[in-house]
Structure 1
Amino acid sequence: MNHSKTVLLALAICSFGSSRAQVSETHPYKAPHAIYGPASVTDSQYYAKKKQQQFRDFVNGQTDFPPKPRDMWEIGIKGGLFSVNGDVRSEMISPGFGAHIRKSLGHTLSLRLEYMYGIAKGQDWRPSAGYKFTGMANPWYYRYQRNSVLPGGSVWNPINFPKVYYNYKTTVQELSLQLIANLHNIRFYKPQTGATFYVLGGLGITTWDGRVNAMHEVRGDEESAAYDYSKITATTKKDVLKQLKDLQDDMYDTPIEADPSIRYSHLFAGSIAPSVTGGMGLALRLSPRFNIALEDRLIYNGSDLIDGQRWTDQGTLTPDKDFMNYLTLGINYNIGAKRKRVEPLYWLNPLNYAYGELRRVPEIVLPDSDGDGVTDQFDQEQTPAGCPVDTHGVSRDTDGDGVPDCKDKELITPTYCQPVDADGVGKCPCPDDCKVETPECAALLGALPSVSFKANSNTLSADAAASLAVVASKLRSNPNCKVVVVGYCAATKKQQQLSWDHVNKVITHLQEKEGISGDRFIFSSGQEGGDCNTVDIRAAAPGEDGPNTVAPPHPNLRKK
């Protein structure tokens, strides 16, 4: 079988490898925009009369889906190579051409009615004598009369008939209805595709008329006689084909044998049979009206005699049937008025509408009239500003005395001291167990991380900056706490200045990068008992205080 055209198509494809609008006050969240090229989804002229009710339901919010718009029809012409893959070598130069009309069923599927006319030719360059073993009364193609005289005066018989070189010329016409599945117009990252891959399959009718070039041309009183293929002495393909061209007259004088397996064979001066077809293609969009397509299609009608040969050299029927290959390049045009029809749907991205709707959904803002963080839908109270609330939007009342915490001057009033006055103060002195003690900063801040510097360096590493971010977070959560920043070593002037540099670096970073107020630090450098390259940070003890800035001890030795 000849598969060269299929390979050619694969190489060619690799080389190419390349809504709603605001129409009523009932839908204020919709905005006008186009979804089908120039067509707006709410423009009624793009929809057929039978789709108008669905259109009205869509724009009024009664259905989520717009109707399918009317789209253009495609017509096209094509030309290319037509061949038969069978028992005889096919010639690549055989022409074929056709025309079609196509209509989309949706964004993926479409129907196409196509007519094809092709002329297939074939010529074997290797000789064959298989007909001698068929048991037939005559070698049907390669002799004209039963008693033909062979070169040298001998009479034909199945034993001494010379070798032959099979050939044929078959004219084929086909009319088929095809279902095409588009594979590439649904795009996630661009609105319009420039190329689409597609596959197709369909049913049709084929007619064909085949002939064999078996006899010399009759001239005057000359008798018709089979070619004397004993004159072919070459052995290489190129030389054999050249000698055959010189010997044969290209008249194709003898009809091929009728295929007994084809029910409708030999009608209308030829054979006719139903067929199936399948193929694939690549279309390139040139404009809203034009595109070109490279396509390869196979056609099969069950016959093994399209190429005029069905016998092997052993005299048995070949198990494989012939099929036709149709490789074309075509140009297509979309017909229809732009004011009423969009491009064929297989060129339009169906995600355009969905993406457009998502982009136009406004930010959802839920009302919270009292600003307490609980939306009005769930808020059970209009809370005064600054009062903490529970999940229902109700002011907190920790001791249950009826005075919200934000107004309660005695946050925890024992039950036996209630009822309370307007300020939440009970009628009896508060015992010691109702007083709320404020925890010390050491407990609130916990253990704070240390900051390490490289030897003789005053540069904060990424890990050190991350540690200081933790310190800043804890200080922001406990606004009444101070911290002591401690640097070590003071044996030499250099150590004293480096210790000062380290402490100053930490405090400056927390102020400038983390936004912590400078009055929350106690500056402590040149201390003993620690590592010279480490700065410790601890919570200040109750009543502990000190300066937050200190002059450098030896400015001339400062580390930049």
Structure 2
Amino acid sequence: MASKKYVSILSLSFLLASAASHAQLGGTYDVQDSSVVPSKRLPQHTEFMANNYPYPAKPRNQWELGLQVGTFGISGDVRNRFPGLGAAIHARKALGYVFSLRGQLGFGTTKGLNFQPSSFYGKNPAWAANGYNPATDHVFYNYKTNVYDLSIQGVVTLSNIRFHKAKSSFNVYAFGGFGGMIYDTKIDALNGSTPYITEFADIYNKYINTADGFGYKNRKDIKKDLKDKLDGSYETEGQVDESQPKLFDKPFRFIFNFGAGVQFKLNKKLSLAIEDKMTIPKTDLLDGNQWQENGVAGVTTATAQSRDFDTYNFLSVGINVALGNKAVEPLWWLNPLDYAYNEVNKPRHMKLPKPVLDDADGDGITDQFDQEPNTPAGAPVDSHGVSRDTDGDGVPDHKDKELVTPTQCQPVDADGVGKCPPPACCDSLQKLIEEGGLKGKCKIGNLPSVTFKGKSVALSNDAKALLAAAASQIKNNPDCKIAVIGYCSSSKSEQQLSWDRVNAVISYLVDKEGIGQDRFIFKYGEAGGDCNTVDLQDGSGQEGPTTVPAPHPNLRRGR
């Protein structure tokens, strides 16, 4: 019978493992989600989010409620007849990823029957008070016991800590705890109201009067004979230690229990478990008898009180459900390494150091984008790392002794100094020029306007052609400031659109045409112009910034 029971349990284990391997397991919880953090740990969460504390706060996790059913058996002085029935309910709460507490209420019922006769039962009132005489009568010890217990257990699990995968579909755990139990033991000592003296004598005679010493071919025959003669009424109160306390008019004992189990996860809410629990109640009367008898072939030679305690075992299969709002699943299902591994793989919260990129010539342009990687120290460069040549005379600024040489005075010598032709004008005009009357006057002339379509901020091919022509004009007038003007500002989106278009024009002239950023005046959101047009104008004598931060960066287009 027992072998069939274990085979059945083993088969069920494989089925559960197979089902759990296909279970849909969710991802880990978001450590930045404050809704699952209890109020008492919110200060730690705040410090963590501000990168002032490296460890995230432990989240609120769900309760587990479970129901278990299985086989129940007693190990005592009387042989357990066959496994009985047990059931339990529990509530479990994780205190951490390894340790949790479980409160369990259990019930078990089972029966026992000895196949050997006994005669030294004089101190057991269940037999002695029912007309049996130890000097002449033999009995066959039997019992039926109901057990009710309540305990609190510490549960330890380590199988959720995984180094090479996020989660597991099963969980192995061990537990131990203490509590209390009451029990009710009955003896089948009477056939109706008459002792089984004749029936037991008949079985006893068969037991001893055979060549093989058993009187029966095997124990099945003894068992069958006993079952036929016993009426199964269990009408007599089993032996009780009157010094023990009582609860609900039944003997009460403190208990210690321990065991192990394995859980199989079906989904985020449900799991199945197989568990074996052993309980030690510190009493020898669960089977209604505490006397040992020594002898052979049913002939007893001595009797003594047994020195060991009865124990009972509960082997069960259970279903568990996780309950709780604004909480993560029970922590024994979560891998505490998830956050660290995910953050290392794809940082979301980690405070990373500012990257330092190589810049061999120290011109401020990293080597990856530097088109002139050996620029002399201190030489001004453009956005591509190329030495600036403001007047376009072929001599870089850091060597040019005449930084702005008029076009008409070029070509220049090795120092960037040109030779200007004599002025074809009158002495008075020459004098006026020399005295500064026209010095610094910009004569760049008309500059183009760039038109955009719809809500676009991208430059069309026609616009790029216009800007290329304007770039030559701007380079030939190096003493001129250029105002780049965008219009319309009735809403945030219009302001940002105007800024994006002005920025697109200036970026093109700086990055593609090599004109210095400091040559431009950045104006956007101006009144009195076409919203889809950006104008380039002579900005000499005007004041304004060369760069302006985006007014509404979240509305930027073309990022």
Q: Shorter-chain TM-score category?
A: 0.5 to 0.7
Residue 270 to residue 226, structure 1, CA distance change in 2 (3 Å):
farther
The structural deviation recorded for 1:282 is 0.6
Asked if 1:70 is matched to 2:60, the reply is: yes
Tell me if structure 2 keeps the 8 A contact 1:9–1:296. no
Asked if 1:355 is matched to 2:341, the reply is: yes
The structural deviation recorded for 1:268 is 2.4
Residue 51 to residue 279, structure 1, CA distance change in 2 (3 Å):
same
Structure 2 match to 1:42: 32
Return the letter of the residue paired with 2:184.
D
Residue 255 to residue 128, structure 1, CA distance change in 2 (3 Å):
same
Asked if 1:56 is matched to 2:46, the reply is: yes
Residue 96 to residue 365, structure 1, CA distance change in 2 (3 Å):
same
Return the letter of the residue paired with 1:160.
T
Return the letter of the residue paired with 1:76.
G
Residue deviations 1:162-181 (CA, integer Å, cap 9, x gap)? x2211111110000001100
Residue number among 81, 89, 108 corresponding to 2:98 in the alignment? 108
Structure 1 match to 2:150: 175
Asked if 1:292 is matched to 2:272, the reply is: yes
Structure 2 match to 1:280: 260
Structure 2 match to 1:128: 118
The structural deviation recorded for 1:267 is 3.9
The structural deviation recorded for 1:39 is 3.0
Structure 2 match to 1:228: 199
Whole-angstrom distance in 1 between the partners of 2:198 and 2:180:
35
Counting only pairs closer than 5 Å after superposition, residues 336-375 of structure 1 correspond to structure 2 as: 336-337=324-325, 340-361=326-347, 365-370=355-360
Asked if 1:270 is matched to 2:250, the reply is: yes
Whole-angstrom distance in 2 between the partners of 1:252 and 1:371:
101
Residue 104 to residue 36, structure 1, CA distance change in 2 (3 Å):
farther
Structure 2 match to 1:435: none
Structure 1 match to 2:126: 141
**Helix, strand or coil at the partner of 2:260:** strand
Residue deviations 1:201-233 (CA, integer Å, cap 9, x gap)? 001110001011111113xxxx55656312223
**Helix, strand or coil at the partner of 1:45:** helix
Structure 1 match to 2:315: 327
Tell me if structure 1 keeps the 8 A contact 2:16–2:272. no
Residue 255 to residue 4, structure 1, CA distance change in 2 (3 Å):
farther
Residue deviations 1:371-397 (CA, integer Å, cap 9, x gap)? 69xxx9xxxxxx95799xxxxxxxxxx
Return the letter of the residue paired with 2:342.
G
Structure 1 match to 2:287: 307
Structure 1 match to 2:231: 249
Residue 204 to residue 182, structure 1, CA distance change in 2 (3 Å):
same
Whole-angstrom distance in 2 between the partners of 1:201 and 1:178:
5
**What is the TM-score when the length of structure 1 is the normalising length?**
0.56
Tell me if structure 2 keeps the 8 A contact 1:178–1:201. yes
Whole-angstrom distance in 2 between the partners of 1:224 and 1:160:
13
Return the letter of the residue paired with 1:319.
R
**Helix, strand or coil at the partner of 1:91:** strand
Structure 1 match to 2:135: 159
Residue 91 to residue 358, structure 1, CA distance change in 2 (3 Å):
farther
Counting only pairs closer than 5 Å after superposition, residues 186-197 of structure 1 correspond to structure 2 as: 186-197=161-172
Unaligned runs of 5+ in 2: 19-24, 207-214, 294-301, 367-372, 378-559
Whole-angstrom distance in 1 between the partners of 2:88 and 2:97:
25
Whole-angstrom distance in 2 between the partners of 1:267 and 1:227:
38
Structure 1 match to 2:498: none
Return the letter of the residue paired with 1:56.
T
Whole-angstrom distance in 1 between the partners of 2:173 and 2:319:
16
The structural deviation recorded for 1:189 is 1.9
Return the letter of the residue paired with 1:263.
Q
Whole-angstrom distance in 2 between the partners of 1:36 and 1:123:
51
Whole-angstrom distance in 2 between the partners of 1:42 and 1:102:
26
**Helix, strand or coil at the partner of 2:226:** helix
Tell me if structure 1 keeps the 8 A contact 2:65–2:322. yes
**Helix, strand or coil at the partner of 2:165:** coil
RMSD: 3.2
Residue deviations 1:129-185 (CA, integer Å, cap 9, x gap)? 233xxxx4x65222444xx3x7xxxxx3x3222x22111111100000011001311
**Helix, strand or coil at the partner of 2:45:** helix
The structural deviation recorded for 1:263 is 3.3
Return the letter of the residue paired with 1:124.
N
Whole-angstrom distance in 2 between the partners of 1:73 and 1:237:
49
Whole-angstrom distance in 2 between the partners of 1:230 and 1:78:
43
The structural deviation recorded for 1:257 is 1.2
Return the letter of the residue paired with 1:346.
W
Tell me if structure 2 keeps the 8 A contact 1:142–1:215. no
**Helix, strand or coil at the partner of 1:327:** strand
**Helix, strand or coil at the partner of 2:147:** strand
Tell me if structure 2 keeps the 8 A contact 1:143–1:226. no
Tell me if structure 2 keeps the 8 A contact 1:98–1:116. yes
Whole-angstrom distance in 1 between the partners of 2:318 and 2:113:
28
The structural deviation recorded for 1:270 is 1.6
Return the letter of the residue paired with 1:140.
P
Counting only pairs closer than 5 Å after superposition, residues 390-429 of structure 1 correspond to structure 2 as: none
Return the letter of the residue paired with 2:136.
N
Tell me if structure 1 keeps the 8 A contact 2:26–2:268. no
Residue 371 to residue 259, structure 1, CA distance change in 2 (3 Å):
farther
Tell me if structure 2 keeps the 8 A contact 1:109–1:179. yes
Residue deviations 1:35-68 (CA, integer Å, cap 9, x gap)? 9936311111111111111111101101001111
Whole-angstrom distance in 2 between the partners of 1:315 and 1:7:
38
Tell me if structure 1 keeps the 8 A contact 2:65–2:320. yes
Whole-angstrom distance in 2 between the partners of 1:50 and 1:36:
27
The structural deviation recorded for 1:6 is 8.9
Tell me if structure 1 keeps the 8 A contact 2:292–2:304. yes
Whole-angstrom distance in 2 between the partners of 1:354 and 1:280:
30
Tell me if structure 1 keeps the 8 A contact 2:244–2:251. no
Unaligned runs of 5+ in 1: 19-34, 151-155, 377-382, 388-560
The structural deviation recorded for 1:368 is 2.6
The structural deviation recorded for 1:308 is 1.1
